[in-house]
Copies of this chain bind each other. A is one copy, B any other.
Amino acid sequence: MPMMKAAVFVEPGRIVLEDKPIPDVGPLDALIRITTTTICGTDIHILKGEYPVAHGLTIGHEPVGVIEKLGSAVQGYTEGQRVIAGAITPSGWSNACLCGCSSQDGAGTRHGFRPLGGWRFGNTIDGSQAEYLLVPDAMTNLAPVPDGLSDEQVLMCPDIMSTGLSGAERANIRIGDTVAVFAQGPIGLCATAGAKLSGATTVIGVDRLPNRLEMARRMGADHVVDASRCDPVEEIMRLTEGRGVDVAIEALGTQATFEACLRVLRPGGTLSSLGVYSTDLTIPLGAFAAGLGDHQIVTTLCPGGKERMRRLMAVIESGRVDLGPMVTHRFKLDDIEKAYDLFGHQRDGVLKVALTP
CB-contacts of A284-326 with B (<8 A): 284-285, 288-301, 305-308, 310-312, 314-315, 317-318, 320
Query: Which secondary structure dominates where chain A touches chain B?
Result: loop
The answer to whether A21 has its CB under 8 Å from any CB of chain B is: no
Interchain CB contact under 8 A, B267 and A112:
no
Interchain CB contact under 8 A, B175 and A165:
yes
Contacting residues, chain B, for A298 (C-beta < 8 A): 295-297
Interchain CB contact under 8 A, B291 and A276:
yes
Contacting residues, chain B, for A97 (C-beta < 8 A): 92
The answer to whether A201 has its CB under 8 Å from any CB of chain B is: yes
Q: Determine the distance from Cα of A169 to Cα of B102 in the docked complex, in whole angstroms.
A: 21
In the complex, what's the smallest C-beta–C-beta distance from A270 to chain B, in angstroms? Answer: 9
- Which of the 9-residue segments A4-12, A103-111, A335-343 touches chain B? A103-111
Interchain CB contact under 8 A, B201 and A317:
yes
Interchain CB contact under 8 A, A201 and B297:
no
Contacting residues, chain B, for A293 (C-beta < 8 A): 104, 115-116, 299, 301
Proximity bits, A252-263, B CB within 8 Å = 1, else 0: 010000000000
When the two chains form the complex, which single residue of B27, B102, B116 contacts A73, counting CB atoms closer than 8 Å? B27
In the complex, what's the smallest C-beta–C-beta distance from A297 to chain B, in angstroms? Answer: 4
- Which of the 9-residue segments A52-60, A192-200, A348-356 touches chain B? A192-200
The answer to whether A241 has its CB under 8 Å from any CB of chain B is: yes
Residues of A in contact with B (beta carbons under 8 Å apart) = 26-28, 72-73, 75-76, 91-93, 95-104, 106-108, 110-117, 137, 139-140, 165, 169, 174-178, 194, 196-199, 201-202, 222, 241-244, 253, 266-268, 273-285, 288-301, 305-308, 310-312, 314-315, 317-318, 320
Contacts A92-B93, A222-B318 aside, 14 further interface pairs with beta carbons under 8 A come to A28-B73, A93-B140, A96-B267, A98-B102, A110-B241, A176-B314, A202-B318, A276-B291, A277-B290, A280-B285, A282-B283, A288-B299, A292-B301, A294-B299
